[in-house]
Each structure stands twice: as C-alpha cells, then as structure tokens.
Structure 1
Amino acid sequence: MTLSHLESNYTILEQRFPHVTSKLNKLPDNELAIHLFQEPFEKDTAWLNAVEGSIGNGKIIFVYGFERGLSIADLLELYPNHWLFVYEPDEQLFRKAVTEYDLSLLLGHPNLYWLSVGDSQLNMMFHMLSSYMIEDLVFIALRKYLSDDMDMLREVKKKFQDYHQTFLVDKYTENRFREEWTRNFLYHLSDVLYTPSIERLFYALEGATVVVVSSGPSLQEDIEWLKKLRPHVLIISAGSSIQALVKHGVRPHLAVIMDGHPVNKKIFASSVTREQPLLFTSSSYYEISDQNCAEKIHSIMKSDDVSQYFFGLSQEELFISPTETVAGTAIQAAACLGAKRIILAGQDLSFPDNKFYADGIEHFATETTDKKVQEAPKKVLNVKGTYNTTDGSFSLMKDGLENLITALPKIEFVNSSRNGAVIEGAPFKPMEEIFEWLASETVAPDAIADLINEKNIAVDMNKVQDVRDKLIATREDLSNVRSEIAAIHKLMNKLREFSRTKPAKAQNMMESIEQMWGLIANRTWFSPIFESIMPIEVARFDQVLPVIVTEHQLTRKSDLIYEHVSKILKDITTQIPILEEMFSESVRRLDKKIDSDAVIDKDI
C-alpha cells in the first residue's frame, strides 16, 4: 500500500513541483524511520485561532513547515481566497509524509501555489514570494517549529526581508536598463555562437595569481608596479580601468566588459584598448564586441534568460552571476580560469582625497564625478585607519565584493588599493611588497590570447541554424500574439457590462479570456523576452494575479480582469514593434557572420 501512496504523490509532485521530486530522488534511502511527526491528527484549534489573528489583507501566506499536511489542509479549507507558499525545511520528514500518506488531493490543490523542501530550495521560495506579494507577507509556522525553533524562524524571516529588498532593487535596475540589456542580449547572439565561452576555459590557468584592476584613484600610485608585475601575474582590467592601463603602457592579459551602456564607446575609443583580448558578457554594450579586433571570449550571465532560451542552456551550466560591479565579473572570470590568488588594485570603493577615478579614466564629464564626490553622504574606514567619503552605490559594491570573497573560500584575496576602503576578507598589502612576494612566479606574455586561440574550435553550424530558426520563429510569433491580444480586447470590452447584466455569459467570457491569456503567457519564449523588456510591468501583474484568481465575486473579478489584464496587454502591444526590430537586426547580424564564415571557408 505504501508504494501506491508514494506513486500517486510523486505523480502530482512531478507535474506541479518537479524541483521537489528531483530533491527527494537524491536523498539516501535509509532514514525513513528516524523522524517522527509531532502534528496531531485532530484539528489544532488553538493554533488555527492564533493564525487567524495574523491573516491580514495580503493574499499570500508563507507557511513554515509541512509535516504530514494536516494543518496545511485546514488552512486551505479556512482560507479559500489565499494562496499558500509552503516550505518544509526537513527533507527526510517530507519524504516520510509522501511515503506514508496519500496526499495527492492536497498536493494538487490549486491554492497550494508553491512548495519548497530543504535549505537549498529556500531562495527559490523567496523568489516566488517576492514575485507575487503586494502587501506585507503573512508568515505562519506550524506548531512544531513555533515550539522548537523560534530563533531559526526569526532568521528565516530576516533572510527573506533581505532577499526581498535585493529583489526589488534588481527589478528597478532591470527596468532602468530594460531596452539596452534586451538589445545587447539579442545582438550578442551571433558573437556568442562564434566565440568560446569562459566555461570552456575552466581551470585552464590553474594556480595563477591574478590582479583585477579597477578605476579607483589608488590605481594612479600603482601603475608603475603593475608594469613590473606583468611578467609574473595575469592582469585583468575591469571595465573603464583599461583606459588608465593603456595610457600608461600596461597591456592587460584580458579586458572585461559587463556594462550595457553606450558610454563604453568612449572607454574603448582608442585602437589600443580594442586590441586587448576581451571577455564580454551578454549584457555588455554590443558595439564593443563588434569593434574588438583581438581574441574574444564570452560569458552568458546566470541572469540572462534571453540567451539561455535561445541556446537551450540552464543556469547550472553557467559560471558567472551578476554583481554590483564589473570587478565582480572579473573576479569570477579569474576564479573560472583557476586563480589561486586574486589581488585587487584600484578598488577604492570610496572617494580618497575627494577623487573619483584614477588619471586616464575619461569617459564621464568631470562635473558629473565632482558633483558625486561633493554630495557623498557617508564615511567608510580606509586601509590607513582613517576615513574616506563614500556613497550608497559604492556601499552596495563593497557588500557585493565581500559576499563574493566569502563565496570563494579557496582563493586568497589581497587588497593593494593603498588609499581605498577596507575590504573584509582581502587584507591590505602594498604593491611593492606584492612585487617581492611574486617575483618568482611567471606568466606567458599572451597567456589568455594563446588560450583563446587554442580553444577557438570550429563553429557548430547546426547550433547556428537552430538559433537562427528560433529567432525567426519568435519574430513571426510576435505578430500572432498581436492578433490574439486584439481578440482578447474585443471580449474584454463587453465583460464588465455582462458581469452586471448577463452573469452566465460573463462567466464564459472570463474563462475564454483566461484560456487566451494562458496561450500567450505559456509560450516558451514569452517569459524570457517580456520579463527582460518590461520587468516592472510583468512583476506588477504577477503581484495582482493572486488577487484576481482568488476573487469569487463576479463583478469585482470582472473589474480586476478588465483593469489589470487590459493594462498588461497594452504594455505588451507597445513592446512588440520594438522587439520585432531587435529580432530582425539579430537575424541580420547572424546572417552577416554566416556569410563571412562561408567566404573564409571558400578562401581556405
């Protein structure tokens, strides 16, 4: 009998929450007898009464704990207008529940909206909660956790608040650069197909010492030392620092670009900057990769759903995550190459002596940077034991770098920025000491260029054709979406009136609208493309979705559909011509590559 419980539960889990079955399949088999349920079979009235006091206006309830599902079933019955997001920290206990009880009805309940199991799925849960919640979160814990683990519950709540804050910042950042990033993702597809990825060079330079160079004022004092160090270490320039390096005759082994803004044309204006080996991320400004004459490698970021869709990649196959600063990208590139030690140069993260950049960094007007320095509202401890002025943007970068250092415990970090902020996890050492320390190490003058040339193997023409077909199919499908939206608008215009005069007809209309919207939103390309080009609009619609779905009063539901579905459809319609143009250009760029490739083959 037990097996059939497990089978029926697994069937539902596989359909609705495949991440949970994947986790359960990896658990060792021998521990089913260890965990005991504390949840009583009879209804826990005292606990439910306490819960009632904390249910506010929000439609989202985060439940900490699943046990054998009895309390979850009670909540679903008592709160039919809410969505439950349930997290069970104990993987073995959850597996015991699905092995011993038939939970298929519970697991299939439409208002059990999300389920995560175990520590590794907590952030996944946070992401879903952040996507759907509007007001404050209703946070409920099963009695077992209330009595045993109050500290842990407080910690989880704090973790969620931090995650949610970052989520909102990220959404607004995405929104600010929405069109630039989407264009860069799409225009880079051709270059990505014709260059090796950073993942292809994994640990190819194992044991090297890497200097990651940023643009802070401290760089000025260490340029001469970097010249002397070049034969002994790999030098990676992060973003605009390449201007200062080439101005002083230092050629980096690799230049890294992540920023998607056209200001990069100024950074890479001189031909020398364009002759250095380049790592471009898929978010970076596409014209730099176009103009770069030297060896190139690419990185598709874990946050770039557009490229992942067109290449059929998953996040797990990618190495580099987005960070607050291009130095973070350069550090991850160094880690991927197998660096044992990373030295941070020009990483001031503040305004030492009221300076913004090292000399030679000229892509921003002086009045812009001077204004930032003068208005800097904060102070931060520097490596000399005094304080520098800084601002919120640098504080975020500092936190991001320190988190990255913590996440790479096998790499030794050293901060050589002699006037910069203290960086946790990267003790300060001046460049002259570093030079003495590393004088016995050697690195080939063109180590990374040689590596790229070695790895620059034949292009996979099947993959090229596959990406081209997907681009054309998506571009054509955009005009189908335009027609489908027009059909929904037609229905919608009558919906509110009918909800008040012909309720049965309105009910049928609503179902048709839901189905038609489902056909649009469930296309495989829809989420990656539209969450990239209109992140805030999609996020706002996601937040109001639980309110629409759980509303049972017909006129109110029709008003909500009319208001919110109409708005998202209008927003999508506005973006379609912009996207069609981007897709056409992306295909044109790819065809140009294919043609030039064919000419080269003919010459050979």
Structure 2
Amino acid sequence: MSDSFDHNAQVIERRWPALFARLITERSMQEQAELVEGLGSTLSISGIQLTSRHDRTREARLQAASLPSDAPVVHVYGTGLGDLPTVLLENADIQRVFVHILNGAIFRLTLQLLDQQHWLNDPRIELRYAGDAPDIYMPFFALPAEMLLADDFNAKIRDRLISEVHLAFNNREFDPNSPEIIQRLEESLELVSQDADVAELFSTCSGREVYVIATGPSLEHHFEQLRAIREQEPRPLFISVDTAYRPLREHGIAPDIVVSIDQRIGFRHLPPEDTGDIPLVYLPLSDPQVLAAWQGARYVGYSASPVYAALRQALPKAELYVGGSVIHPAVDLAVKMGADRITLFGADFAFPMNKTHAGWGDGDLGPGVSQARHWVLDGNGQRVSTQLNFRSYLCELERYIAGHPKVSFFNSSRAGAMIVGTTFNQEFVQ
C-alpha cells in the first residue's frame, strides 16, 4: 500500500470541492487501523475487517450480484477499499453509481493508503456523505463492516439501512398463514364484528393539541406535570400506548384513549378495573380476553399488513399506520383525529438513565439494559444505548413525521433518541 492521498485528493477536489473541504477535516484513523493478511490483505479498523482478507475482488462481485442486473442507477453505502464501485463500473449498462460515505475518517484513511483514481475519475460516479440525504435510496448495497463503523453524522442513514435489510426478518412473525395468527384472528372475529370502527374517532378533535404517551424512561420525569395538566380545562388530549397505561394510572393519570396492537399484551399491562370512561383502540391480533374485559368503548381498525387482508374484506374498518411499534398507530390516530400539534412523551427509542421503560422493571417488557448492543444519538448529540428494533421503530416514526408536514411534532425530552422532524417542547424540556 502506498501513500496516494495527493493523487486521490486532486480528483475529489476537482469533482466535489465542497465534499473535499469536509473530508480533509476528518480525524485520523491510522492508530486504529492495521493490515490483516490472508491469501490477500485488507484493513482492520478497531478489530473489524473492511473487506475479505483473501479475495476482495471476488467478494465485491458477490456483492454486485445481489443488485438488480438491469438497474441503471445503483447506490453503494460505505466506501470500503473501493472494490465494489470498481466492479460495478465494469457493467456498461449502469449509468450512475452513487457512493455514500458512512465514515469520513475511514474513507480519508483509504485515500492515504490506496490509489482510488480508477473509480473516482469515472463520470458515472457520484460521491456523497450518506448523512446529507434525508433517507436511503434503492437499489442499494451497504458494506457490512461500515454498517458497524458508521460515524455519528451518518448514523441516521445507517439505522435506515439496517432497518431495510432486516425488514423481511422482522416481518416473519406476521405470516398470514401462521397457525397462531389464524387462530388469534378467529378468536377475535366476534369482537371485531361488533366493535366500533376506529374511523368514528377521526376528525373529532380538529385543532386540539394531543399528547402521545409512550413508555420510554424519560416519561418518569413528567408524571407530576402530566397529572397537573390532566386536571386543567381546556387541556390537550392524552393518548396512551398500552404499556404506558399502568404507569400512568399508578401516578393518578387517566388517559383519554389507549391504543394496543400487540398480541402479547395481557392483563398486567391493561388491567380492566376503572376503565369505563376510557376508550380502547386496538388491532385484531390483540388478546380477545383482554379486549372483552375492557369496560370502556372499544374501537377496532386494521394496519396495511397482509395479515388482515381477509378480515378487511369481510368486515371493512379504517386503517391506522403501523411501523412495528404501538407508538405509530397512536401518533396516526392523533393525526387522523385532527391534531395539528402533537407532543411525544416517553418516545425514547433508547435506554437513557440506564433503564428500559418507565414504570417497569428491567427486562419486564423485553431485553434488559445489559443486552443493549447498539446506539442512537440523543437530544444532546450524545450516544445512548438501544436495541436494534428500537432503531427501526425510530426510522419509521421519522418517515411518518416527514410525510405530515402540516402537523407540528414536539419531543418532551432530550434524554432519548433525537427524532428527526420534531422540535423540543419548551414547556417540558429545560
């Protein structure tokens, strides 16, 4: 490997001067890098190999083969050692290859060690920082090593890439042909047929502010203030997700509406006592015994999932948006009820204060804090631990917010994940 930075830099400065100005300010990675040899060689950064150490070109050809062969435009996330862009450019039918930098410091190091002019000079190449885009582009290949090594600036795009890559895996438990799914829908059929359509709630609170209350640890900071606001008149509408319901009631706060979608939600989450004045909005996979015991009015809707295809045809009901978490339909309900201002509580998508949820013990609602292997940036720009599915839920909420520009979204805390598209509600954020 030779010091080729000057030659590479001349190409980048000529073609992408603004990007070059940023690139030369990236920190040095040389102390964290080492040469790893096998049948060939590669770089290892903090113990993570950027490519195969045996046959980088063969690996790149396998990666290229996963992309549609007839796609005129393709996107590569991560620069690696330049092997994948080089292989893709061998295809004369490809008109444009967008290379999105996931770690600027790694890319700068690569430019210092290897001649990259062969692909940087190609007019079909467009070079960008991944984090400059609001979302990911298709079709794409994301280099596995740099999904792990993405820097803070590009972390949002990294999260969306991982969410997309894992989509089929995450949907595996919602197979319409699953015996468990079929049985649950059969058990819920009577309730679905007799309960009110969630559409009856739409447009009933036009112009009213809505608080959507989730169960992230930061909710614990707001119980007292929420209880005081709950006694005011007029006041915002309180929509609670199912797992936040019990902690709210334990602190003397009765939500106006509860939303539940998960088939695993039971009586410990939604105790039916004193619920006569609280409507429950649910999807048909919810536990029918829990639904039947609820004393208040019940409203049912569907998501766009194929799971509900047959039910949707037999018993038409309105849809709520679901992106993996109950917070998505809760927010969508608020929007469809007519809210033009929504403040999120406990929407942390992370484990601030070394806790998983407000009002629940570590591991009560899923993996404990000690099992967290991932991170997001919080409202102060600091890394906070999380789990993989939380990052996916965050991505889907951000996409939803981006799709509703006429609604103002606010976050009540800086402790949890920074949610793109929200601003901080100064009534609650110090």
- Identify the TM-score tier after normalising by the shorter chain: 0.5 to 0.7
Q: Give distance in 1, aligned partners of 2:315 and 2:406.
A: 25
Q: Give distance in 1, aligned partners of 2:385 and 2:366.
A: 13
What is the CA-CA distance between 1:311 and the residue it aligns to? 4.4
Residue 245 of structure 2 aligns with which residue? 242
Residue 348 of structure 1 aligns with which residue? 348
Q: RMSD over aligned Cα, in angstroms? A: 3.9
Residue 494 of structure 1 aligns with which residue? none
Secondary structure of the corresponding residue to residue 319 of structure 1 = coil
1:255 to 244, 258, 261: 258
What is the CA-CA distance between 1:432 and the residue it aligns to? 4.2
What is the CA-CA distance between 1:412 and the residue it aligns to? 0.8
Residue 294 of structure 2 aligns with which residue? 292
1:268 to 267, 270, 276: 270
Secondary structure of the corresponding residue to residue 168 of structure 1 = helix
What is the CA-CA distance between 1:423 and the residue it aligns to? 1.2
Q: Which has the larger radius of gyration?
A: 1
Residue 303 of structure 1 aligns with which residue? 305
CA spacing shift, 1:334–1:181, aligned 2, 3 Å: farther
Secondary structure of the corresponding residue to residue 266 of structure 1 = coil
Residue 415 of structure 1 aligns with which residue? 411
CA spacing shift, 1:228–1:294, aligned 2, 3 Å: same
Residue 368 of structure 2 aligns with which residue? 372
Q: Give distance in 2, aligned partners of 1:376 and 1:342.
A: 29
Residue 398 of structure 1 aligns with which residue? 394
Secondary structure of the corresponding residue to residue 263 of structure 2 = coil
1:212 counterpart = 2:231: no
Residue 528 of structure 1 aligns with which residue? none
CA spacing shift, 1:216–1:375, aligned 2, 3 Å: same
Q: Is the 8 A contact 2:213 2:241 kept in 1?
A: yes
The amino acid that maps onto 2:325 is T
Identity of aligned residues (%): 22
1:187 counterpart = 2:187: yes
Q: Give distance in 1, aligned partners of 2:384 and 2:274.
A: 34
Q: Is the 8 A contact 2:67 2:139 kept in 1?
A: no
CA spacing shift, 1:251–1:347, aligned 2, 3 Å: same
What is the CA-CA distance between 1:396 and the residue it aligns to? 1.7
Q: Give distance in 1, aligned partners of 2:141 and 2:403.
A: 17
Q: Give distance in 2, aligned partners of 1:153 and 1:187.
A: 55
CA spacing shift, 1:61–1:420, aligned 2, 3 Å: closer
Secondary structure of the corresponding residue to residue 420 of structure 2 = coil
CA spacing shift, 1:180–1:336, aligned 2, 3 Å: farther
Secondary structure of the corresponding residue to residue 379 of structure 1 = strand
- After TM superposition, the structure 1 = structure 2 runs for residues 480-495 of structure 1, keeping only pairs within 5 Å, are none
Secondary structure of the corresponding residue to residue 423 of structure 2 = coil
Q: Is the 8 A contact 1:180 1:260 kept in 2?
A: no
Residue 155 of structure 2 aligns with which residue? none
Give the aligned length: 299
Q: Is the 8 A contact 2:343 2:425 kept in 1?
A: no
- Which structure 2 segments of 5+ residues have no match? 1-60, 74-87, 99-123, 127-136, 143-160
- After TM superposition, the structure 1 = structure 2 runs for residues 466-477 of structure 1, keeping only pairs within 5 Å, are none
Higher mean C-alpha displacement, 289-298 vs 149-158: 149-158
Q: Per-residue CA shift, 1:268-293, capped at 9, x if unaligned?
A: 13513575210011222222211111
- After TM superposition, the structure 1 = structure 2 runs for residues 593-604 of structure 1, keeping only pairs within 5 Å, are none
Q: Give distance in 2, aligned partners of 1:168 and 1:397.
A: 15
What is the CA-CA distance between 1:419 and the residue it aligns to? 2.3
Instruction: Give me the TM-score of the superposition, normalised by structure 2.
Output: 0.60
Q: Is the 8 A contact 1:303 1:321 kept in 2?
A: no
- After TM superposition, the structure 1 = structure 2 runs for residues 45-64 of structure 1, keeping only pairs within 5 Å, are 63-64=70-71
Q: Give distance in 2, aligned partners of 1:240 and 1:351.
A: 16
Q: Give distance in 1, aligned partners of 2:388 and 2:66.
A: 33
The amino acid that maps onto 2:421 is G
Q: Is the 8 A contact 1:418 1:430 kept in 2?
A: no
Q: Give distance in 2, aligned partners of 1:209 and 1:159.
A: 42
Q: Per-residue CA shift, 1:458-485, capped at 9, x if unaligned?
A: xxxxxxxxxxxxxxxxxxxxxxxxxxxx
Q: Give distance in 1, aligned partners of 2:306 and 2:377.
A: 35
Q: Is the 8 A contact 2:242 2:270 kept in 1?
A: no
Q: Say which structure, 1 or 2, has more relative contact order (CA 8 Å, 6+ apart).
A: 1
1:331 counterpart = 2:313: no
Q: Give distance in 1, aligned partners of 2:166 and 2:392.
A: 10
Q: Per-residue CA shift, 1:530-589, capped at 9, x if unaligned?
A: xxxxxxxxxxxxxxxxxxxxxxxxxxxxxxxxxxxxxxxxxxxxxxxxxxxxxxxxxxxx
1:198 counterpart = 2:201: no
What is the CA-CA distance between 1:370 and the residue it aligns to? 9.6
Q: Is the 8 A contact 2:276 2:297 kept in 1?
A: no
Q: Per-residue CA shift, 1:301-333, capped at 9, x if unaligned?
A: 11044x432442799x84323212111110111
The amino acid that maps onto 2:335 is A
What is the CA-CA distance between 1:368 and the residue it aligns to? 5.4
Secondary structure of the corresponding residue to residue 344 of structure 2 = strand
Q: Give distance in 2, aligned partners of 1:284 and 1:153.
A: 49
The amino acid that maps onto 1:308 is A
1:156 counterpart = 2:138: yes
CA spacing shift, 1:309–1:428, aligned 2, 3 Å: same
CA spacing shift, 1:333–1:183, aligned 2, 3 Å: farther
1:312 counterpart = 2:308: no
